[in-house]
Amino acid sequence: MSILLETRGLAAGYGALQIIKNIDIRVEHGSFTVVVGPNGAGKTTLMSALAGVLPVAAGEIRLDGQVLNTLSVSQRVKSGLVLVPEGRHLFGQMTVQENLELGGYLMTAAQRRQTMDEVCALFPRLAERRDQAAGSMSGGEQQMVAVGRALMGRPRCILLDEPALGLAPRMVATLFRILRQVAQNGTGVLLVEQNVRQALSICDHAYILEQGLVVAEGSGPELLQGERIRKSYLGL
């Protein structure tokens, strides 16, 4: 597979405070890539820099070879890079369908209808509850709406910041299985996650981020068997 999303020597932070430093990561076309690490490692900072919420202090972000550094958030969305932020940020008083349609605002009406059908095929529960207020749904169902809304824009690469946070184990397993399917359908998936065991067990490739630096990378099974993960994250 060829490289879809890539960072080269990426550094970003808040003012003079640099949180991530010299980050090199790659997401291949149609792959499920994971970044794991403890609280404060810089995972959300990384996602914010990729999405354009935070300025880049050094290095490059490339999507299919195009340098994104100077592009705004909306320009990155148009280029095919979409973020599902931590906390979901849905419009709670609006219906599930209305929230989903907002994600497809760049599409034609025909494209929105087709993509809505595809999203509802991935998330049958959303099809059943199209007319329900998004804010009245469970946390797991709201996360499905947030992911579905991002997919409505037909992104080339979807970024997810801690989507499993606060969800029941069964819902986490369902969500990760669907994200695996999204990647298999051709969309690059980059997930940052604290649920180390489950994330590494399902991904194609993973990076360990600690104190703003990538300290290890490899396949999920390789890292699960590695001493750093077993001691620091799994208590083995």
Domain boundaries, the chain: 3-80+155-232, 90-150
Q: How many CB atoms lie within 10 A of CB 185?
A: 11
Tell whether the model's pLDDT for residue 234 goes beyond 70: no
Tell whether the model's pLDDT for residue 230 goes beyond 80: no
Closest CA to 79 of 132, 143, 154, 179: 154
Q: What are the structure tokens assigned to 226, written together?
A: 């590695």
Q: How far is CA 133 from CA 12, 95, 97, 146, in A?
A: 37, 4, 9, 13
pLDDT of residue 127: 92
Q: Report the Cα–Cα distance between both ends of the chain, in Å, rounded.
A: 34
pLDDT of residue 23: 97
Measure the CA–CA gap between 142 and 203, rounded to whole angstroms. Answer: 23
pLDDT for 42-63, tens place per residue?
A: 999 999 999 999 999 999 999 9
Tell whether the model's pLDDT for residue 138 goes beyond 70: yes
The two beta strands, 157-161 and 188-193, are: parallel
Angle at 190 between CA 189 and CA 196, to 5 degrees: 115
Mean pLDDT value across residues 139-150: 93
Measure the CA–CA gap between 118 and 83, rounded to whole angstroms. Answer: 19
Report the greatest alpha carbon distance in the chain. Answer: 53
Mean pLDDT value across residues 156-160: 97
Confidence of residue 235 (pLDDT cuts 50, 70, 90): low
Confidence of residue 198 (pLDDT cuts 50, 70, 90): confident
| Strand ranges (E), 94-144 | none
Tell whether the model's pLDDT for residue 105 goes beyond 60: yes
CATH number of this structure's domain 3-80+155-232? 3.40.50.300
The two beta strands, 81-84 and 157-161, are: parallel
Q: State pTM to two decimals.
A: 0.92
Closest CA to 45 of 5, 12, 1: 12
C-alpha 160: how far from its chain's center? 2
Tell whether the model's pLDDT for residue 82 goes beyond 90: yes
DSSP H or E segment with residue 141: helix 139-151
Confidence of residue 38 (pLDDT cuts 50, 70, 90): confident
Q: Considering only 5-14, 84-93, 126-135, which range has the smallest mean pLDDT?
A: 84-93
For residue 45, the one-letter residue type is: T
Tell whether the model's pLDDT for residue 72 goes beyond 90: yes
